[in-house]
Amino acid sequence: MHLDNLIQQFQKKDKVAFETLYNMYAENICGVINVILKDPERSQELCQDVFMKIWDKSDQYDASKGRFFTWILNIARNTAIDELRSKSHKNQKKNLPVDSLVGIYENSEDLNGKIDTIGLQSLLKGLKDKCILLIDMLYFKGYTQKEAAKELKTPIGTIKTRIRSCISAIRKNMA
Amino acid sequence: MEVEKYIASGILELYVAGALTPEQNLEVQHYAIQYPEIKKEIEAIEAAMMELTRTTSPKMPEDGFAKLRAELDDVIPFMPASSEKKTPWGSYLGWAAAILFAAGTLWMYFQNTNLKSEIEISNQEKENLEEIISTTREEVADKESLLEELRDKNVTVIALGGQAVSPDSYAKAYWNQEEQKVIIDAQGLPDPPPGFTYQVWSLKLDPLTPTSIGLLDDLASDNTKLFTLENPNASEAFGITLEPIGGSETPTLEQLYTLGAVGA
């Protein structure tokens, strides 16, 4: 079934369609949460919670506002960030450590056997720290382009071209 | 539109991240529909992020969805039960307010209708009262002017006494010689039988010469029983006889009800 039809069925509370979407995205959503929490067990639990939220909020997804993946990515990282905040009692997004992807990359040895360490290392091979930081901010912390530009004291245009080259590097590593 | 330049700008990477403004999202979506290369590029960026997050994912349990499904099956049918725990005060309050508002509106509507009809009744009563007042005023004015007429210094009052045919009858004549007017007060005359009316005569006594000065038509239905008649004659007496409707040329003396002499 085409993705658009699948999403339409899911929005009509079709459980079969929802299962298909779960099988397509659950691993990635758990991966997103684990990048932020760096806690595989807790990430698995939260991942289930995130899919419950996705099911409950199904009518809120609006294709004109972005990709379905982007929508569930946003729900996942908000849930994970809330979890971090409730632990650290920090209220500001900017107070969160901006090192989750860097951290999971550097400490991947510790997570060995729990995540695909080899796959991660080969994907990020040759990427500069600046790149990993920017991917972390935009994809795993939910910074808008403006917020990222302000935080990094870099013009928006530079942010855009940089994220373009960073993702392109990952895509090359995939090939 | 230069598709390659647009792709190279990095906007699509930000689109997948959800880092754009709603307007920019719409723009990207618009171009993605228009240009297949852009759609393909978006999917490639998404695939890269899918691959990255796959590598950071903990091992997925085999029965992940089965657990979720159990929760869906569990939660969805029992939604009302779980919402019972959290009493939806907001909803209750909303309904209560709505009902109260509707009842209030209805009550005000009826109140308003009642008031309107009460006002209408009041207005009607007011009109009636006004009519009565104006009628009364007219009557008072009439009576005042009548009184003035009767009090006029030129008025001679002649009492007309009952005669053989009706000894109890009486009448009064208020004669203003100056204005050549006689007001007959017929209060003391019985209602005339059907087909008859009273006729007033001015009399000269020597020799006896009666001159008709008018009829007291519709005496029965006249409340005041007062009749104003023209009298240009040098009358010496006034008499009232019962005559057929329309009056007679000469008085029917057998039917003389009252009679009185001027200056008597």
CA distances, B177 to each of A59, B145, B180, B182, B259 (Å): 109, 18, 5, 8, 19
Average pLDDT value over all residues in chain A: 86
Q: Do A167 and B48 touch (CB under 8 A)?
A: yes
Among the partner-chain residues B11, B21, B56, the one whose CB lies closest to the CB of A31 is B56
Most confident of A115-129, B18-32, B150-164, B217-231: B18-32
Q: d(Cα B29, Cα B9) in Å, to the nearest integer?
A: 16
Is the pLDDT score of B10 beyond 70?
Answer: yes
State the DSSP string of B130-192: HHHHHHHHHHHHHHHHHHHHHH-TTEEEEEEEEBTTBTT--EEEEEETTTTEEEEE-TTSPPP
User: pLDDT tens digits for B105-117?
Assistant: 999 999 999 999 9
**Predicted pLDDT of residue A104:** 75
Q: Which of A28, A37, A110, A171 to mutate to test the interface with B (most CBs of B within 10 A)?
A: A28
Q: d(Cα A104, Cα B56) in Å, to the nearest integer?
A: 8
Is the pLDDT score of A9 beyond 60?
Answer: yes
Q: d(Cα A145, Cα B131) in Å, to the nearest integer?
A: 85
Average pLDDT value over all residues in chain B: 88
Is the pLDDT score of A37 beyond 90?
Answer: no
| ω into B207 cis (within 30 of 0) | yes
Bridge partners of B175, per DSSP, are B156, B182
**Predicted pLDDT of residue B86:** 63
- Chain A nearest-CA residue for B7: A164
Q: Give the gap in angstroms from C-alpha A102 to the nearest C-alpha of chain B.
A: 12
**Predicted pLDDT of residue A89:** 46
**Predicted pLDDT of residue A97:** 57
Q: Do A167 and B29 touch (CB under 8 A)?
A: no
Q: Do A163 and B54 touch (CB under 8 A)?
A: no
Among the partner-chain residues B9, B26, B44, the one whose CB lies closest to the CB of A160 is B9
**Predicted pLDDT of residue B222:** 81
Q: Do A67 and B15 touch (CB under 8 A)?
A: yes
Chain A contact present for B64, CB below 8 A: yes
Tell me the average pLDDT across B139-144.
Answer: 86
Chain B contact present for A51, CB below 8 A: yes
Is the pLDDT score of B220 beyond 60?
Answer: yes
User: pLDDT tens digits for B36-81?
Assistant: 999 999 999 999 999 999 999 987 777 778 888 877 776 554 444 4
What is the radius of gyration, based on Cα positions, of chain A? 17
Q: Is A144 within 8 Å of B15 (Cβ atoms)?
A: no
- Chain B nearest-CA residue for A15: B69
Q: Do A163 and B17 touch (CB under 8 A)?
A: yes
Chain A contact present for B53, CB below 8 A: yes
User: pLDDT tens digits for A89-125?
Assistant: 444 454 555 567 777 777 666 666 678 888 888 899 8
Instruction: Give the count of Cβ contacts less than 8 A between chain A and B.
Output: 157
| The two three-digit tokens of residue A126, written as one number | 């040759």
Chain B residues touching A160 at Cβ < 8 A:
9-11, 13-14
Q: Is B230 within 8 Å of B214 (Cβ atoms)?
A: yes
- Collapsed DSSP state (helix, strand, coil) of residue B240: strand
Q: d(Cα B232, Cα B264) in Å, to the nearest integer?
A: 20
**Predicted pLDDT of residue A41:** 87
Q: Give the gap in angstroms from C-alpha A94 to the nearest C-alpha of chain B.
A: 16
